[in-house]
Amino acid sequence: MIAHPPLVIAVDGPAASGKGTIAKALARHYRLPFMDTGKLYRACGLAVRLAGQDPYDAEAAAAAARCIDPALLDDPDLMSSLNSDYASIVSSHPAVRAALFDTQRAFAAQPGGAVLDGRDIGTVIAPDAPAKLFVTATPEIRAQRRHAELAGRGGEQTLADVLADIHARDARDSGRSAAPLLRAADAALLDTSTLDIAAAVAASIALVERALGHGGR
Ligand code: DC
């Protein structure tokens, strides 16, 4: 029997690029455990919010990140646009990133491999991952997707508001000094602007296969 090295797939990209959907589909395809690392930052943001604290307060945010209540990961407010802002702000503090590092690194280091999606998986959490994707789409397309998703959950934000949020979050996530959103030098670029989900998933599997240097696993 040929032993495979652990397959770690790093999927990074900006908000609403389709990276979560793609990462989940890759996890199913390769039968690997999956972690949405954005949920950790979202849970930290939510804890800060629920405690009435200031997300710009690095100490308060880091304290929240050190003891994330697992129940918050399933909170209906986790994915709201207000909480997206809190998550993006708390994630800019180096102490928050440090507090959440071990959990993510341990998940990526499982013996059989794993799929993780986020902003710094290919650059910081799993820099040696054999397969890395950087998933993107135009801000306008990402805003349309996020707007439809929020509307489906009863949100009342206009498309213009969602687009403004996307621009603000892109600027914050890319402009911060601690582990900014960045395409790793060895990450394959996948622009999903003109792709539906099935086409994006097929393209991502093809890119992973190419990164692994084979036609099948
Ligand atoms: O992937 P998401 O939109 O759910 O992430 C929410 C916020 O968390 C995002 O604005 C930036 C931050 N984040 C991060 O800094 N690093 C990650 N690996 C994942 C998310």
- According to the model, what pLDDT value does residue 216 have? 47
Q: Which residues pair with 135 in a beta bridge?
A: 190
Backbone angles phi, psi at 3, to 5 degrees: -85, 130
Q: Which residues contact 67 (CB under 8 A, 6 or more apart)?
A: none
Token pair, residue 175, equals 């402009």
13 lines ligand 1 (CB under 6 A): no
Which residue ranges make up each domain of the chain? 7-211
State the average pLDDT over residues 128-153.
94
pLDDT tens-digit readout, 164-175: 999 998 998 888
Using CA atoms, how far apart are residues 123 and 92, in angstroms rounded to an integer? 16
Token pair, residue 163, equals 């687009």
Whether 141 has a pLDDT exceeding 80, the answer reads yes
Alpha-carbon distances of 98 from 53, 63, 90, 108, rounded to whole Å:
20, 11, 12, 16
In terms of pTM, does the model score above 0.85? Answer: yes
37 lines ligand 1 (CB under 6 A): yes
- How far apart are the CA of 85 and the centre of ligand 1, in A? 10
17 lines ligand 1 (CB under 6 A): no
Whether 2 has a pLDDT exceeding 80, the answer reads no
pLDDT tens-digit readout, 74-130: 999 998 888 999 999 999 999 999 999 999 999 999 999 999 999 999 999 999 999
Pick the CATH number of 7-211 from 3.30.70.100, 3.30.1370.10, 3.40.50.300, 3.40.140.10: 3.40.50.300
Closest residue CA from atom 6 of ligand 1: 38
Q: Which residues pair with 8 in a beta bridge?
A: 114
- According to the model, what pLDDT value does residue 3 have? 62
Alpha-carbon distances of 74 from 3, 17, 33, 136, 188, rounded to whole Å:
36, 22, 18, 26, 31
Whether 180 has a pLDDT exceeding 70, the answer reads yes
| Residue from 22, 37, 72, 182 to probe ligand 1 pocket by mutation (most atoms less than 8 Å from CB) | 37
87 lines ligand 1 (CB under 6 A): yes
- Least confident stretch, 15-24, 119-128, 134-143, 146-155: 146-155
pLDDT > 70: percent of the chain: 97
